[in-house]
Amino acid sequence: MTNPIALDSVLAGFDAVWSPRIVANVNDYDIRLARFGGEHVWHVHEDTDEFFLVLDGEIEIGLREPAGERVVTVARGSVFVVPRGTFHKPSSKGGAVVLLVEPSGTLSVGDEHDEVPDHVDVTVGHRVETA
């Protein structure tokens, strides 16, 4: 990447929820931009943490931890990291825009997951074309 990328322009180019766009790479990591709406799917990334930065709206992340299940709310302007090996299920009742950081090639539904609903894109991300 040799020029800045306006995230507003990227967002204007798609409206699909749960279909992340790769806006940049840092070393071996993708910087992904995604729209959240409704529920994703319970899934786990065995070998990597997952970083969430809420740019707009609010999300909830269900977590299955040794002490039991819990839900964390991540408000606009906040970050949350799901530790590797933790089953989780992101959702957003009112819709949200989220920046994610994951190793390149990480599947959006993790290494293991529940049945994937039709509205969830099973992908390693869609690269944004830059000028």
By 3-state DSSP, what share of the chain in percent is helix, strand and coil, each rounded to 5? 5, 55, 45
Q: Stretch 50-77: mean pLDDT, rounded?
A: 98
Residue 90 tokens, joined:
């992101």
What phi and psi values does residue 11 have, to the nearest 5 degrees?
A: -60, -35
Kindly state the tokens that stand for 78: 């906040």
Q: Which of 109, 118, 125, 48 is nearest to 83 (CA)?
A: 48
Considering only residues 53 and 129, tell me which one the structure prediction assigns the higher pLDDT: 53
Q: Residue ranges per domain, the chain?
A: 21-127
pTM of the model: 0.94
pLDDT digits (tens, 9 = 90+) for 16-41: 999 999 999 999 999 999 999 999 99
CA distances from 1 to 10, 23, 24, 42 (A): 15, 9, 7, 33
Q: Which fold has domain 21-127?
A: Jelly Rolls (2.60.120)
